[in-house]
Structure 1
Amino acid sequence: MIRAFSPTQRIRIILIAGVVPLVIAVVGVIALLSWTDLPDPIAVHWGPTGSADGYGSLLGLATLFLLSVVAFAAIVTVAIARLRASTRPSAQPRFLVGMSVWFATLLTAVLVGSVGIQRGLEDAAAAPSVLPVLGLALVAATLLGLIAGLVAPKPVTLEPSSVEEPRFALAPEERAVFTRTIAPSRIAIVSFAAATILVIATAVLVAVVGRPAMFVIIAVVSLVLVLSFASLNWRLRIGRDGVRLRAAGGYPRFTVPIDEIAAASVVDVQAMAEFGGWGIRFGAGGRTGVILRSGEALEITRHTGRSLVVTVDDAATAAGLVNGLVQRSRA
């Protein structure tokens, strides 16, 4: 069966994932700017015990908050609104809708609550613990996020597709090999680059502020980014021994022997909706993906029902060769 969102459903998605978070954020900012009994500067950072240990301006904090909500809501809304028809059921669109509302609610509640407890104080250092605010914010965000995900529309079912799986007829001793180098899309590169810039900027900020303990977190995140960059380019090889996929650096790698393969098919992958992003991803139905872009992909289904999805050009040729090799191995 083929599933897709109708025009009316897309409008509902835009309203829930895009407009609702913005309304929540704007209401929060208006409330903040209407308070005239706040200390100057206000507390903008809180230590692990919940006490204030960093100070700044209300306007700067509100601006950063609003930009964060707008950016996140825009990314989620565009990603879902541009979804194409798919043969795979997926909970990712509804999850992303819920995440957009959850993120906006959490930030708004934390911001309004942490600033609200400073009203009437002459010195922000005297502010009470922010921990109760964090707890209430998390509960409110989770509740609204769940509601948003539940009321988000499900894609409608269209007429089933009658496209047959590609298959090459191979002679008993005939040798055939398919190889491709797989490179990421521009949007994937931009996403990784943006994450890298954010880590560098955070590291510089930590160095300036002088919080050595935070360098451990920065180091861990940096290591994850390095490993992610190492797996941006992949090499796919299909031959009589099966399917081999490895990163340019040699690791990680995936191997699927021919005798474990039930079938290969060409699928249309939507990176954000089906896998939640790019890189090594995990989707619904036991799918593991090496997803470097949206669009044409090769799906290798095992006898166990689990599958490996790889975004690669000329996926029809790759699938045809795999199916031909599988058929010959059973002869």
Structure 2
Amino acid sequence: MTDPNLGAPECPAAAQERRDRRVLWAVVVWLPLAVIAVATAIQLLWIPRLPEEVAVHFGVAGEPDRWTTPTRSVLGYLVLSLAVAASIALATFAGRRAMLRPADGARVRLLAQVRPTAAVAPAVSILIAVVVLVLTGAQLDGAEPAGWTAPVAVGAGILLGVLAGWITWQALPAPDRPEPSAATPALDLAPGERAVWTASATAPWIVFAIIGLAGACLIVPIVMAPSAWWLWGSLLVVVALLATTTGVRVTVDRRGLTARTLLGLRLTQVPLADVVSASDVEVLPGEFGGWGFRYDLRGRRGIIMRGGPGIEVQRRDAAPLVVTVSDARTGAALLNALAAAAR
């Protein structure tokens, strides 16, 4: 007899997904937090042995050129490390519910989808921790860091970070190379009928926060070191231009698919003659290593603003293009209809 109190056996796919989530949390959240906690504890234990001011920035020649108190140095490391870890975690987990591609229903393992971003999390946390610990440890008991200290710290951080990333990459499952997504059924347009579709998408708040923080950090040296205003001002202009790419507007019309920035600057255009097919797909930023203009392991080019629906365009003489945008199914259906009419 079957015990009525016992539930139905768990679906193997659901059990696999639950295990994948636990592994992903361990790699992307708990491991970086453990590295940050250990590095912070070491620095706190070192505070009695550090001078009243410690060097926190080094010039091209390896000479210190910026100082602060040990307590502020630890706090700065903590804020920077947590901010970077949080941004990577958000990029990894964003849109993680999109495990089924509606076009073909093919289930893809979460760990395989977000492998590029997940491998970065421990690598970056270890890189930052090693650099800070080496530079801070070189100043214990009033010692002055030698000119080679900064290059060695950065080199050791990069080496250990790359090693951690490589180990994580090897431990996570590799994604299969699935067939192109099934084309979305084309809209039924009457002969000679004209139609236009447009929709937009913006990046998540963490992207705006990072750009805002970068802009604020660049304003400080402009005020404190006005003689080098041209350098910091140029970087500030670059950051301002990047801010205009935190949102896109996608249009499908007789010219094909066009993606533009918030200021109307064209990012890309796929003419109707180049469209093989268009599909509405579910996109994880972790597949592309985060937000922005990316490539994934399948060779697709992506304009990734967020997780969720997107349009995937198979092109004749170029890699597939993926653009995240709302109401992607309507846009893909219209693009297929217009491309078919133009043939």
* TM-score, with length taken from structure 1: 0.82
Query: Which amino acid in 1 is paired with 2:38?
Result: V
- Any gaps of 5 or more consecutive residues in structure 1? none
Contact 1:181 1:233 (C-alpha < 8 Å) held by counterparts: no
Distance 1:176 1:221, change over 3 A: same
For 2:29, the equivalent position in structure 1 comes to 18
Distance 1:113 1:234, change over 3 A: closer
Counterparts in 2 of 1:1-331, with a 5 A limit?
6-35=17-46, 36-82=48-94, 83=96, 84-85=98-99, 87=101, 93-121=114-142, 126-129=144-147, 130=149, 131-154=151-174, 165-171=184-190, 173-184=191-202, 187=204, 190-210=205-225, 212-213=227-228, 215-270=229-284, 272-304=285-317, 306-330=319-343
The offset of 1:266, in angstroms, is: 0.7
Structure 1 window deviating more from structure 2 (11-20 vs 63-72): it is 63-72
Kindly tell me the number of residue pairs found equivalent between the two proteins: 318
Distance 1:219 1:86, change over 3 A: farther
Looking at structure 2, the residues matched to 232 and 33 of structure 1 have their Cα atoms a distance apart, in angstroms, of 38
Structure 1 window deviating more from structure 2 (66-75 vs 48-57): it is 66-75
The offset of 1:19, in angstroms, is: 1.3
Distance 1:288 1:315, change over 3 A: same
Looking at structure 2, the residues matched to 139 and 308 of structure 1 have their Cα atoms a distance apart, in angstroms, of 34
Looking at structure 2, the residues matched to 252 and 195 of structure 1 have their Cα atoms a distance apart, in angstroms, of 24
Query: Which amino acid in 1 is paired with 2:326?
Result: D
Distance 1:299 1:119, change over 3 A: same
Q: Deviations over 1:304-326 (max 9, x none)?
A: 36222233333222222222233
The offset of 1:107, in angstroms, is: 1.5
Contact 1:199 1:221 (C-alpha < 8 Å) held by counterparts: no
Looking at structure 2, the residues matched to 294 and 66 of structure 1 have their Cα atoms a distance apart, in angstroms, of 28
Looking at structure 1, the residues matched to 318 and 112 of structure 2 have their Cα atoms a distance apart, in angstroms, of 19
* TM-score, with length taken from structure 2: 0.79
Distance 1:37 1:226, change over 3 A: closer
Distance 1:170 1:229, change over 3 A: same
- Any gaps of 5 or more consecutive residues in structure 2? 1-12
Contact 2:91 2:290 (C-alpha < 8 Å) held by counterparts: no
Between the two proteins, what is the percent identity of the paired residues?
27
C-alpha RMSD of matched pairs (Å):
3.3
